[in-house]
């Protein structure tokens, strides 16, 4: 098998966010730095990117002021660290369609975008409490994924995308959240998106405070245990960069 490696890409951060947002009412009053992370998978016949980061700080400040987006790094800058340009990416897997995971699609001019069926269906018409997260149904604002609508490929549940990389349905945080299982030389690594936003969510089996269905979330936790990944890579934990800017997995 081709040796696959996973590189986390820092695309911005929320430097002073309420931690209980990510840990279901635990850690109330604790502030911490949550990173916006994309993932580049190296060693495949095609270039694969998982998640594409948030908007620029100005619109983020208008629509998401409580998160305080800072340290915005462009997709071009982030990908340059792994020697790739946005137009060279063949496949983008979006773990879900919240605004901080699916901007910059217009820069990926030669990519197809993989989204779960249940996710795009909900993103079109989310419950009112979730509209801001999806940037849907807000006058003057278009959901970021709409710019690439003609290149979206709908996925239904589990599917092998390329040898050594598969998507797996992980509902709970959102109806169509998905993870990406990567078979590396060192083991099976699961890029979990915001189903597991921080390492401690998995360690303590704590769901995110942002979710649509706790019953689904619990079933997803059980499913992940059945999948038995050797390592789970969370969606917002700066510890994934503990090896420095050139951190890699696999």
Domain of residue 68, CATH code: 3.60.15.10
Domain assignment present for residue 51? The answer is yes
pLDDT score for 169: 98
pLDDT tens digits, one per residue of 114-164: 999 999 999 999 999 999 999 999 998 999 999 999 999 999 999 999 999
Domain assignment present for residue 236? The answer is yes
Domain assignment present for residue 248? The answer is no
pLDDT at 2 over 90: no
Domain assignment present for residue 247? The answer is no
Domain assignment present for residue 250? The answer is no
Q: Report the 10 Å Cβ neighbour count for 149.
A: 11
The total of structural domains in the chain comes to 1
pLDDT at 3 over 90: no
pLDDT tens digits, one per residue of 150-164: 999 999 999 999 999
pLDDT at 107 over 60: yes
pTM: 0.96
- Alpha carbon 82 to chain centroid distance? 18
Domain assignment present for residue 229? The answer is yes
Domain that residue 167 falls in: 5-241
Domain assignment present for residue 246? The answer is no
* Residue 32 burial (10 A CB sphere; 0-12, 13-18, 19+): middle
Domain assignment present for residue 160? The answer is yes
pLDDT score for 71: 87
pLDDT at 1 over 60: no
Nearest to 201 by CA among 24, 28, 67, 37: 24
């Amino acid at each position: 098998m081709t040796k696959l490696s996973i590189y986390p890409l820092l695309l911005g951060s929320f430097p002073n966010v309420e931690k209980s947002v990510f840990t279901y009412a635990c850690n109330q009053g604790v502030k911490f730095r949550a990173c916006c992370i994309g993932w580049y998978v190296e060693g495949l016949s095609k270039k694969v990117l998982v998640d594409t980061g948030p908007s620029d700080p100005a619109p983020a400040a208008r629509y998401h002021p409580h998160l305080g987006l800072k340290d915005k790094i462009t997709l071009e800058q982030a990908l340059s660290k792994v020697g790739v340009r946005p137009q060279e990416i063949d496949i983008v897997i979006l773990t879900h369609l919240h605004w901080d995971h699916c901007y910059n699609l217009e820069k990926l001019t030669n990519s197809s975008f993989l989204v779960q069926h249940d996710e795009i269906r909900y993103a079109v018409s989310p419950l009112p409490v979730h509209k801001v997260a999806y940037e849907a149904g807000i006058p003057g604002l278009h959901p970021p994924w709409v710019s690439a609508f003609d290149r979206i490929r709908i996925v239904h549940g589990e599917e092998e995308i390329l040898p050594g990389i598969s998507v797996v349905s992980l509902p709970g945080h959102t109806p169509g959240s998905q993870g990406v299982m990567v078979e590396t030389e060192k083991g099976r690594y699961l890029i979990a998106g915001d189903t597991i936003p921080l390492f401690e969510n998995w360690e303590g089996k704590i769901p995110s405070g942002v979710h649509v269905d706790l019953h689904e979330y619990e079933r997803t936790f059980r499913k992940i245990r059945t999948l038995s990944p050797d390592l789970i890579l969370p969606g917002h934990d700066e510890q994934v960069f503990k090896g420095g800017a050139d951190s890699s997995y696999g």
